[in-house]
Structure 1
Amino acid sequence: MIWVAATLIAAVAQTARNAAQAGLGGRIGTIGATSVRFIFGFPFAALFLLLLTPFTNLPPLNATAIGFTAMGAGAQIGATAFMLLTMRGQSFGVATALMKTEPVTLALIGILILNEPMGPASLAAIGLATLGVMLSSGARWSRAGLIPVVNGITAGTLFGLSAIGFRGALLTLPEGSFFVHALTILVLTLGLQSSITLAWMLIADRRALRGITGEWRVSLAAGGLGAFASLFWFIGFALTPAANVRTLALIEVVFAQIVSGRFLHESTGRMQLIGMALIAAGVGWLLALTATGG
């Protein structure tokens, strides 16, 4: 169950990255804040791979692996942009809940693109955990606007497509170390994303580029944490269908609610408690199924 540990490590590291990156948007703009995770994460991943090279054989990259990686990298950039758009909407809870429908999207896309069928019990566990997220989000669906809903669904779909791209790239590599495979695809992904976002800022947003340079300390911390988190996401994708990884990651919602109640003294409503229970039940069910090969 290495993928379980990898997913939990990735979720914690991603939370830390988000905390490091939290204030950047207001200081250097949306594009700049989005680009930080790619541009400052790439040197960390590339250096680690370079240091590892004398001790292992790197897997050869074929056209299919590069194509899947490019699909994942592009979809992740688009997903991040739509995610940031949802944060500006009136229906924040609704949009956030819809973005968390990613595991369901992943399961469906995985069946269509990667031919990774999931049994009815696994699909039910994924659906149960996703329903829990929607209930625990505190969303007021009666006030949901069309644009935030569309943006949220689009972000969730693109995040799902990006995970499928990374999973597909990893599956095309020859047999070998899952760790080396994950690191290789991560370096390729961050290299592509850094090139795309740097080119965009050079052409259309020089202010964001100057802002990143001025905030290099915070950007470096966010980039390092982001690369660390992504490495463990990719390790999870190398070992199990992406839908399993993202479903387990939903347990982060429960942790966030516990922290907000314990340390921030924020109240938790009955519907949120029911939602957290459903998340825990869905995740536990899925882990039991994967442990028994169900």
Structure 2
Amino acid sequence: METWILITIAAAFLQNIRSVLQKHLKGVMGTTGATFVRFGFGFPFAAIFVGLLAFGMDYPVPQLNMQFSGWVTLAALAQIAGQALLIQMFGHRNFTVGTAYSRTEPAQAALFGLIFLGDRLSSGTLVAIAISLIGVVLISIARSAAGTTALLRSVFSRTSALGLASGAAFGLAAVGYRAASLSLGGPNFMMQAAVTLLAAILLQTVIMLIWMWFRAPGELARIRAAWKIAALVGLVGATASFGWFMAMTLQTAAAVKALAQVEMIFTFASSVLIFREHVNKLEIFGCIFIVAGILVLLLV
């Protein structure tokens, strides 16, 4: 099995753990604070990754360049924008439908990858993306009373626009991170990914700190009070991101994001085993489609 596949599956698993931990944090702080900890508390671990590779494995640290700076800045801002759009969407009716549209991220990443990097995908990979997309949409709307009819009818609604914009932002971020990592030119995919992660997470931490200082100062105290679990979120989140960046250095962002839909299976399992939530038929069918899409992706 190819290296990028193993790394992506591991990263998806870790991201699910991070999401479970962040769900716990939401009980003691607001959305902004719970979002910040993945960046602010992840930064020290990102620095450790670079240090271990540089001093522990004697890999040279690549020299930064303007192309790298441009791509990593674009990607970091796009990721924050995608998260902000998701949060804004929660204030609208039928936000579940919007969430389903936000799951078009792999398809949009394929388009951005083709436009900006010339990444071309095989017909089999495109089919795999389509199949897994059906799966995540089914899971996204499974617990919505509106169902598939509302999904089709709301194509031109504000909620759907926010969902599509969020998916576009995350897709652009994925392609941007891949471009930034590749622009370093070496010494290997691990160091390139680690340096890209460190630069991105530093920028995001500074931006969110400034935002909270002026707009939500109370969050800073709540973050300090929950520093232990926040540090765990930072560790797991940074490790997951390191995995994503390594995988996207080795493979197109669209293929990585398509395989990353396996996270929905992990989330599904967490809902059932940890939070004891009820399972319905659409969720089961959604999982089947995701698994089918992943199998197609692995076999092409």
Task: Tell me if both proteins adopt one fold, taking TM over 0.5 as the criterion.
Answer: yes
Rounded to whole Å, the distance in 2 between the matches of 1:88 and 1:106 is 26
CA 1:262 to 1:52, structure 2 compared with 1: closer, same or farther past 3 Å?
A: closer
Cα RMSD between the aligned structures? Answer: 1.9
Rounded to whole Å, the distance in 1 between the matches of 2:247 and 2:69 is 19
2:87 to 84, 104, 118: 84
Measured against aligned partners, the alpha-carbon deviations of 1:26-53 in whole angstroms (never above 9, x if no partner) come to: 4322222211111110011112322432
Question: How many percent of aligned residue pairs carry the same amino acid?
Answer: 34
1:153 to 164, 187, 199: 164
CA 1:218 to 1:62, structure 2 compared with 1: closer, same or farther past 3 Å?
A: same
Q: Which residue of 1 aligns with 2:26?
A: 25
CA 1:17 to 1:259, structure 2 compared with 1: closer, same or farther past 3 Å?
A: closer
Q: Which residue of 1 aligns with 2:46?
A: 45
Deviation, structure 1 residue 133: 1.5
Q: Structure 1: 5+ residue runs without aligned partners?
A: 290-294
- Partner SS, residue 275 of structure 1: helix
1:181 matches 2:181: no
Measured against aligned partners, the alpha-carbon deviations of 1:123-148 in whole angstroms (never above 9, x if no partner) come to: 12211211122123315244466333
1:236 matches 2:247: yes
Conserved? CA contact 2:86–2:166, under 8 Å = yes
Measured against aligned partners, the alpha-carbon deviations of 1:226-247 in whole angstroms (never above 9, x if no partner) come to: 1011000111111100111111
Q: Structure 2: 5+ residue runs without aligned partners?
A: none
Q: Which residue of 1 aligns with 2:178?
A: 167
TM-score, length of structure 2 as denominator length: 0.89
Rounded to whole Å, the distance in 2 between the matches of 1:120 and 1:74 is 31
Superposed, which structure 2 residues align to 1:202-213 within 5 Å? 202-213=213-224
Conserved? CA contact 1:251–1:280, under 8 Å = yes
Conserved? CA contact 1:186–1:231, under 8 Å = yes
The letter of the residue matching 1:273 is: I
Conserved? CA contact 1:78–1:158, under 8 Å = yes
Rounded to whole Å, the distance in 2 between the matches of 1:119 and 1:14 is 27
Conserved? CA contact 1:261–1:268, under 8 Å = no
Q: How many residues align?
A: 288
1:129 matches 2:140: no
Conserved? CA contact 1:6–1:233, under 8 Å = yes
1:64 to 43, 49, 67: 67
Rounded to whole Å, the distance in 2 between the matches of 1:273 and 1:67 is 42
The letter of the residue matching 2:66 is: A
Conserved? CA contact 2:182–2:192, under 8 Å = no
Conserved? CA contact 2:186–2:192, under 8 Å = no
The letter of the residue matching 2:255 is: N
Deviation, structure 1 residue 221: 1.2
Q: Which residue of 2 aligns with 1:292?
A: none
Deviation, structure 1 residue 87: 3.5
CA 1:201 to 1:273, structure 2 compared with 1: closer, same or farther past 3 Å?
A: closer
Rounded to whole Å, the distance in 2 between the matches of 1:281 and 1:142 is 24
Rounded to whole Å, the distance in 1 between the matches of 2:192 and 2:128 is 29
Conserved? CA contact 2:42–2:231, under 8 Å = yes
The letter of the residue matching 2:162 is: N
Q: Which residue of 1 aligns with 2:113?
A: 110
Rounded to whole Å, the distance in 1 between the matches of 2:285 and 2:52 is 47
Deviation >6 Å, runs of 4+: none
- Partner SS, residue 62 of structure 2: coil
- Partner SS, residue 10 of structure 2: helix
CA 1:149 to 1:20, structure 2 compared with 1: closer, same or farther past 3 Å?
A: same
The letter of the residue matching 2:5 is: V
1:101 to 92, 101, 104: 104
The letter of the residue matching 2:43 is: F
The letter of the residue matching 1:73 is: A
The letter of the residue matching 1:48 is: F
Rounded to whole Å, the distance in 2 between the matches of 1:4 and 1:29 is 35
Deviation, structure 1 residue 218: 1.9
Rounded to whole Å, the distance in 1 between the matches of 2:255 and 2:204 is 25
Q: Which residue of 2 aligns with 1:267?
A: 279
- Partner SS, residue 281 of structure 1: helix
